[in-house]
Amino acid sequence: MDLLSHLTLGFETAFTATNLLWCFVGVLLGTLVGVLPGIGPTATIAMLLPITFTFAPVTALIMLSGIYYGAQYGGSTTAILINLPGESSSAVTAIDGYQLARKGRAGTALATAALGSFFAGSVATMILAVAAPPLAKVALNFGAAEYFSLLVLGLLVSISLANGSVLKALAMIALGLMLGAVGQDVTSGTPRFTLGFSELYGGISFVSLAVGMFGIAEIFKNLENERTREVGISKVTGLMLSKADFRRIVAPVLRGTALGSILGILPGGGHILASFASYSAEKSLSKNPKEFGHGAIEGVAGPESANNAAAQTSFIPLLTLGIPAHPVMALILGAFILQGITPGPNVINDQPALFWGIIASMWIGNAMLVILNLPLIGLWVKMLTIPYRVLFPAIVIFATIGCYSINSNPLDVYSVFVFGVLGYVLIRLGCEPAPLLLGFVLGPLLEENLRRAMIISRGDATVFLTRPISATLLALGLACVIVAVLPSIRRRRKEVFVEDD
C-alpha cells in the first residue's frame, strides 16, 4: 500500500504541465543525441547543466534523466540504418540490425528495438521503485566508515569495468581526487591548491570540468575523426511486427530485461556490458546460431532490452546510496548538488515528491519515446545528413554561455577550455576521462567520511577493517581490482569495449 501511495505522489508530481514539458524535451533531446553519432548523453547533459540551475529540482532531474534513457533509444536508429552506433551500448545492435535493414527489414528492426526498449524500461523502472526504499533503509544504518568503504568500492569497480589499462584508470581516479581537493579544507576551511585564485576557494566548477572534459574534448575528437555519414536507407516501411517476429522476440526481450536490470546496477559500463552479455546469451541459446551476424531479430531484441533496462536500474545506487554508476550518473549527482540536495538515502524521506516524481517520469518518458521514435523515423534519417562541422560551433557557444551564466565568473569560461584541452590530450594518450569525473565527484564525499570516521575512532585506522560491513566492502573492492588485472579478464574487457576506440 505504501508503494501505491508513493507512486501516486510521484505521478501527481510528474503530471504537472511544466514537468511533462521538460520530460518531453529531455527524451526528445536524448533521442536526437542518440541519433547523431559523436555527441552522446554525457556531453549533452554536461552542457545543459547550466540551464537547469534555474529550474525546480524535480524538473531539472526529470529532464536530465530523460536525456539519458532517451539516448539509449536513439542510439539504435543509427546502428540499424547506417551501421554506426549513436551510443556505445548500441554497438552490438548494429551487428544484426544493419543486416536486417540491408534485407529491407529496417522497419522490423526499429520496431523491435522500440518495443523491447519500452518493455525493458518499464519493468526496470518498477524494479527501481520496489528495490530503492529497502536499500535506502539499509544505507541509513551505514556509519562514516561504511560509507567510506562503499565509495572506495564504487571507484574500484568502475576501474575494473573501464575500457583500457587498469593502471591508466587508476591514474584518472587519482587525478580526479586531486582536482576534487581544490578549495577550502573540509574541516578547517583553509584554502588549498588554489594557486592564489580566490575564485577557487569554493573548488573547481563541476560544470566547467564536465563541459570541458565531455563536451569540448569530444568536439576536438570528433572533428579529428569526422566521417561522412551516408544514409543508404532513405525510406523505412513495415513498422508492424508479424506474429512470427513477435514470437521470436518475446524470450530475448524477457532475458535481456533480466540481465540488464541486474548489470545496470554495477559501476562503470554496466549498460554496455548488459547489451554484450545479452547478445552472447541469445547466440548461445539460439537453435540457429549461424543466423547471428546475418540478420537475426533476436540479436536486436535482446541487447536493446538489456541496455534500456540497465539505463533505468543504474539510478538505484545513485538514488539510494548517492553513488554514481557511471559518468552520466555522476553528472546527475552533480545536478543534485547544484540544486542544494545531498543525494543518498535521506532523499526518499526528505524529498519524497522529488524521488517518486523522477521514478514516475520514467514511465511517462518511456511512453513518449515509443510515440516519438517510430513516427519520426523520417526526421531522424534526415538529421543524419547534417555535417558535424555545422553542429559544433553552436554547441561550443551554447556551452560557454551556459557555464558563464551560473556565476558570471570569467574563470569558469577559461576552465572549460583548459579542461577541454586536457580531456582531448587524455583521450589521445588512451586515458578515459570517465574515471576522472567519478573521482572528482566522489572525492569530497570520500574525504568527508574518512575524516569523520577517523575522528569518531580517535585516529584508529583499523576501524575500516574491524567493522564487518566496511571490511567486506573493502575486500570486494580489492577482489575487483585483482580480477581486472587477470590476463583473461583483461582480454575480455578489451573485446567488450572495443567499439569505444
In tens, the pLDDT along 270-303 reads 666 778 788 888 888 878 777 887 778 888 888 8
User: What are the DSSP E strand ranges found in 271-380?
Assistant: none
Q: Cα-flanking dihedrals φ and ψ of residue 192, to 5°?
A: -145, 140
pLDDT in tens, 175-194: 888 888 888 887 777 888 88
- pLDDT for the residue 332: 84
* Nearest alpha carbon to residue 444 among 149, 177, 139, 157: 177
* Higher pLDDT among residues 67 and 139, named by residue: 67
**Concatenated DSSP letters of 182-209:** -EE-TTT--EES-TT-GGGTT-S-HHHH
Grade residue 84 by pLDDT with cuts at 50, 70 and 90. low
Q: Which residue has the higher pLDDT, 470 or 349?
A: 470
pLDDT digits (tens, 9 = 90+) for 113-132: 888 888 888 888 888 888 88
Listed ranges 273-277, 331-335, 358-362; the one with the highest mean pLDDT = 358-362
Which pLDDT score, from 0 to 100, does residue 116 have? 85
DSSP H or E segment with residue 245: helix 243-263
pLDDT at 233 over 80: no
Instruction: Show the cell assigned to 112.
Output: 523491435
Mean pLDDT of all residues in 335-355: 81
The per-residue pLDDT for 20 is 92
pLDDT of 249 > 80? The answer is yes
Phi-psi region of 242 (alpha: psi -120 to 50; beta: other; left: phi over 0): beta
- pLDDT of 501 reads 46
Burial string for 253-283 (b: 16+ CB within 10 Å, else e) reads bbbbbbbbbbbbbbbbbbbbbbbbbbbbbbb
Mean of pLDDT over the chain: 78
Largest CA distance in the chain: 70
CA-CA distance, 267 to 244, in Å (whole number)?
A: 37
Taking alpha carbons only, the member of 218, 268, 214, 172 closest to residue 46 is 214
Which of 75-84, 324-333, 374-383, 413-422 has maximum average pLDDT?
A: 413-422
Selected residue with higher pLDDT from 166 and 460: 460
Q: Which one is predicted more confidently, 62 or 383?
A: 62
Which residues, including other chains, have CB under 8 Å from residue 111's CB and lie 6 or more apart? 239, 240, 241, 374
pLDDT at 1 over 60: no
Per-residue pLDDT, 21: 92
Q: Which range (3-12, 191-200, 482-491) has the least confidence?
A: 482-491
**40-52 vs 17-35: helix crossing angle, rounded to 10:** 150
User: 414 pLDDT exceeds 50?
Assistant: yes
DSSP structure class, residue 286: -
The residues that bridge with 184 in the sheet, in sequence order, are 191
Give the DSSP per-residue string, 208-244.
HHHHIIIIIHHHHHHHHT------S-------SPPHH
Q: What is the pLDDT of residues 4-29, one digit of tens each?
A: 888 888 899 988 999 999 999 988 88
Question: 3-state class of 414 per DSSP?
Answer: helix
Domain ranges in the chain are 2-496
**pTM of the model as a whole:** 0.73
**What pLDDT is attached to residue 341?**
82
Q: Answer whether residue 100 shows pLDDT above 60.
A: yes
Distance CA 91, CA 97 (A): 10
